[in-house]
Structure 1
């Protein structure tokens, strides 16, 4: 496969005078505590930038320990009342939240794209999935089950209760601000808890707007949002004595920090961390279908996706043909600002720091002699755009195939034996997601079972549903989002035994 050394990607611009959002669409740039916009106890702020242009668009409070304490106090005050509601009452509240989000779907999608740079098609999908998450949890929380009440000791009746934990601290990432907030808020509230949420300081706007939109649908203090940095706000959530569990979606480094901070108080931790999803393509696979699937699965949200199919392991006998098909798919992408048309598929990376990180990976790959069949670097111009890239002839153990780049970059390696493919797929520290491509049904079952990942797709990739769990193994953390398993993660089990002798 021939390679290039410079991307040839044009970035489509929205043009002067095109406003993705109006000033009135922005949320109050304050914390949300007890259902009200609340100023910080400090005057420091954090700038928020438009990734498409690099321009500052807002500034949010750099939250303090005192701000977190106030939010936790509000959540703690609301906790007994919310915990005592019936499943039906909590279900109806989640359904009202879903309706409110759906009513404001376009405004939320535009705000999300403005803040993150993602194409409108991605943001609209995020909002639709957020709505579905609340509606699913609204139904699921009314059907939770425990072990049947029974006598396991003569004349003693055992009853198993599922109880709320109390106050939950939440830290959400910058790549899916609204959707990842929904993945946490819905089951946490559904299980009867209250919460304090810290959105990423890079992309806080849609979460603040969400809190504004639903404030009248929940008891004051049930949902609180405090903006700020991980070392201050996140650290306080992890160590606060009145928080029962901390849930984080983020990097492995962030997960380690939260788990270490939570250890002193022995509070529970729920971690959904990074990934480096292998895509194992056997010689008998439908190569065109695999390449077409990776067009979305490898590059959705500009590859800023922890389950992205970013590491291809393809059988050597079909590697050239598969790479040709994949490159053709990638070359057809429309790259641009979210306001430049509904057909834009690839936007900028979320921040200057992340852009520089991804460029660094590409530079080091090139210095190591790894070629790019398409893309391979930045596009130039304002904003933080990286050309959609396919790195080919990647040697075993290369940095770009081991570490999470988290950009529009897919690497292609080859293998010759099935056992080799499984072993190499499992060698990374992550264990979030993987896929297997083959027409052999027996192989698909066997290989899927041998892959050490929380989700394994067969002849598809990055297909999600609210009914099935999402979470990883190894360095990708523990705990499950979505499905009834999330409700279980955000509740606790109590055994009550009654002596019924007379």
Structure 2
């Protein structure tokens, strides 16, 4: 949808004032996790605009029980029935899009165009998995040739059961759609724990579930902090946990699942490279590199925060990229010209400013930005670029999750690939080059789950998402996302 204004619109009071914020078995309940409240902050002003009472550990158990009770009937529905529910959720999101965009702008500080992309992505995900749900029934009972005429074999795909879904704050509703849509399409029931920083947008899923008549217990939502997440991971009724977030928390999720021997999907951090080859178009490369690190204020696990550029064009490219960075309009949703908003949380703002301060102390070559944008108030950081960053420096090695780019140059393609792969992570990467075949050949050599070649970071519901090494376990999106919630059953019988 084309929008001609970046100005925020008021968020309806019913989306901000949630006396009952726990959704269990088709009904809303007052949170039992008091007396402390979850506070929701406008990051462009650093002010609280809403609070709610979180759920409790006891309510996690009630939600898990509701999901377990609902599983038998939900798994017995046809793929077509589940598809109708998924399309109804997509329609519910579409109907609420203006309000959800306004809420994203308020709670995450996103410019309007970024908030609109988020809602559109969530809608597209539910529509895509509705299509896949319709095809599940036709895949059941596929024949397997056993090489023995006395026996016959066939395969079936069974939903894993009630699942726990834990999502992050950088793309509210989007990463939730990536989990809820395939889980429900597969025939699983779910307990969702939204991020404690951006809960309000996620509660819309409960509103829509009630509105469309989704069977009670199929989707449950328990907001809260680490105690709620831990309870969800350890509840024995939960047969799989899917988590998006930091590596530190992901390791705890994995440990909890390991104690019960249940499967996990982990979408974790990244320190993704972007390689600019010698024959790259400078203007194109600048646009792709800028979007790869400054979109969503760099709060992307896929952010291409390590830029590796051919030495022969390094000076020209760096100058053009700095010029681009200085033109980026940093501002809150009330600035109609804003291209980059603030960091979403105070915690993240403090982390990034600490990194910038350490870089200054260490004498890194800062060619753009390098500080908080104090004049704006709120959690704003200047678009920041460091050049010739040592390969052992934290700015080069560690995920920062902010608009901070580190640059190194290379003389041979082999050197570029070594630099690109010299990280603990392997989520994403980008290659920009004039010769398509050469650029694709370089892309094939990079250890990453998703590589873009001569294009910005576009993610479609039918493509795979996930990484190698410390970037996680498993894949979301595409048919692989659906398979993550299905178990394979083989049947061998007398012919």
TM-score, structure 2 normalization: 0.94
In 1, the alpha carbon distance for the partners of 2:355 and 2:252 equals 24
* Cross-structure match for 1:82: 74
In 2, the alpha carbon distance for the partners of 1:150 and 1:291 equals 51
SS in 2 for 1:391: strand
- The alpha-carbon deviation at position 465 of structure 1 amounts to 1.0
In 1, the alpha carbon distance for the partners of 2:382 and 2:437 equals 38
* Cross-structure match for 2:168: 173
* Cross-structure match for 1:205: 200
Q: How does 1:3-402 map to 2 (within 5 A)?
A: 20-26=10-16, 28-29=18-19, 30-44=21-35, 45-144=37-136, 145=139, 148-152=142-146, 153-217=148-212, 218-230=214-226, 232-341=227-336, 343-380=337-374, 381-402=376-397
SS in 2 for 1:336: coil
Query: Residue deviations 1:262-313, cap 9 Å, x none?
Result: 1011010000111111001111111210101122221111110111122100
- The alpha-carbon deviation at position 27 of structure 1 amounts to 5.7
Describe the shift of the 1:168–1:137 C-alpha distance in structure 2 as closer, same or farther (beyond 3 A). Answer: same
In 1, the alpha carbon distance for the partners of 2:411 and 2:135 equals 48
Q: Is the 8 A contact 1:27 1:209 kept in 2?
A: no
Describe the shift of the 1:40–1:245 C-alpha distance in structure 2 as closer, same or farther (beyond 3 A). Answer: same
The reply to whether residue 424 of structure 1 matches residue 419 of structure 2 is yes
In 1, the alpha carbon distance for the partners of 2:429 and 2:217 equals 39
SS in 2 for 1:373: strand
- The alpha-carbon deviation at position 159 of structure 1 amounts to 1.3
Q: Which runs of 5+ in 1 are unaligned?
A: 1-12
In 1, the alpha carbon distance for the partners of 2:285 and 2:297 equals 18
SS in 2 for 1:237: helix
Between 479-488 and 331-340, report the one with greater CA deviation: 331-340
- The alpha-carbon deviation at position 494 of structure 1 amounts to 0.4
In 2, the alpha carbon distance for the partners of 1:42 and 1:455 equals 39
RMSD: 1.7
* Cross-structure match for 1:9: none
* Cross-structure match for 1:7: none
* Cross-structure match for 2:449: 454
* Cross-structure match for 1:6: none
- The alpha-carbon deviation at position 85 of structure 1 amounts to 0.5
SS in 2 for 1:246: strand
In 2, the alpha carbon distance for the partners of 1:316 and 1:103 equals 51
SS in 2 for 1:339: coil
